[in-house]
Amino acid sequence: MSAQQQLPEDQRTVIALLVDRGLTYESAAAALGASRSVVRDRAQLALAMLAPAQARDLPGAEREQIGDYMLGQQDGQEQDETRRLIESSAPASAWAHALSHELAGDNEPRAGAAPAAATGADAGVPATTAAPAGAVAGRSADAAPAKGARRRRLLALTLVAAVVIVAIVLAVVLGKSSKTSSTANRSEPKIIGHAILASPSGARSAGLFEVLKGGSKLAYYIAAVGLEPTSNFYYALWLSNGAGKSRPLNRAPSVGSNGRIVGGALLPTNAAAYNEVLLTRETQTSSVPTTPGETILKGKIQYAR
């Protein structure tokens, strides 16, 4: 029996509404004929019972903040603040990771430790640096429950796994040419944009793409799950402004049986001129594809204002 199945019925009901159906606290309260505070309290208690060992290591306010985040109840600045908390605190990261495992259920991929770095790339297209959080993206009471729940769980796993790669991308990718610079002269790298990646066909795959800036450099990391393992094809990343206006970025690392891609690399200096990112399935034999293949995941890039 899973940990969720062992929860009291009222807590299971609340978690089902928030996670499986993707409702807000307000919508769940209306459905149950209860107040928002009652729904939130039940949800937070359920989360603490799902991962009690990790919950004990956090102050109550931080635990509730991350709980709201993982249940998709935050937007904008709140998400950014919680992501920074998860990135900077080992107990917070452990709590988020444990929750993603429990909310995903037994049949979903599990987020683990960061994989080893990717070793090179075929056909001359550089591979992303393998290795990566947080909020479950997107919620709508009108979305199809099964599809919304699946994407929510996958994104929870993707984003929590992505926490690990942030430091690696910042240190390895953005820091490559900074070794001779004094610490005082280095600007603090920041996440300046992101895209939630979804399947155009409604498949179970999902992901996160984030844009990082350190000094004059731009870089990205991507984390995606639910992908078909590569065999006689490869995945590639593109920046796009629509049909006929796409620029190849990188050939992604090979995907194994876990269905996961995690990685990062530098971005071109004109990356902000593109508003969309694509993950495509490629069978072209040329070193650099000239046009995108089948789009597996796509998302609009939203830059911080």
DSSP codes, the chain:
--TGGGS-HHHHHHHIIIIIS---HHHHHHHHT--HHHHHHHHHHHHHHHSHHHHTTS-HHHHHHHHHHHTT---HHHHHHHHHHHHH-HHHHHHHHHHHHHHH-TTS----SPPPPP---GGGPPBP------PPP---TTS-HHHHHHHHHHHHHHHHHHHHHHHHIIIIITTTT-TTS-GGGPPPPEEEEEEEEE-TT--S-EEEEEEEEETTEEEEEEEEESPPPPSS-EEEEEEESSTT-EEEEEEPPPP-TT--EEEEEE--TTGGG--EEEEEEE---SSS-SS--EEEEEEE-EE--
Ranges of residues in the chain whose predicted pLDDT is under 70: 1-2, 104-189, 243-244, 286-287, 305
Say if residue 168 is in the same domain as residue 60.
no
pLDDT at 160: 63
Say if residue 53 is in the same domain as residue 179.
no
Say if residue 138 is in the same domain as residue 282.
yes
Say if residue 157 is in the same domain as residue 240.
yes
pLDDT at 170: 58
How much is the pTM?
0.60
Say if residue 73 is in the same domain as residue 170.
no
Say if residue 102 is in the same domain as residue 123.
no
For 51-106, the pLDDT digits (tens) are 888 888 899 999 999 999 888 898 878 888 888 888 778 788 888 878 877 776 54
Count the Cβ atoms, other than its own, within 10 Å of residue 247: 15
Domain boundary among 74, 92, 107: 107
The mean of the pLDDT values for the chain is 75
Residues of the chain above pLDDT 90, percent: 23
pLDDT at 276: 94
Say if residue 128 is in the same domain as residue 247.
yes
pLDDT at 154: 65
Domain boundary among 78, 107, 136: 107
| Residue 147 burial (10 A CB sphere; 0-12, 13-18, 19+) | middle
Domain boundary among 86, 107, 128: 107
pLDDT at 62: 93
Q: Give the CATH number for residue 173.
A: 2.60.40
pLDDT at 245: 87
Domain count, the chain: 2
pLDDT at 126: 40
Say if residue 98 is in the same domain as residue 223.
no
Say if residue 142 is in the same domain as residue 172.
yes
Which residues span the domain enclosing 37? 1-107
Say if residue 95 is in the same domain as residue 15.
yes
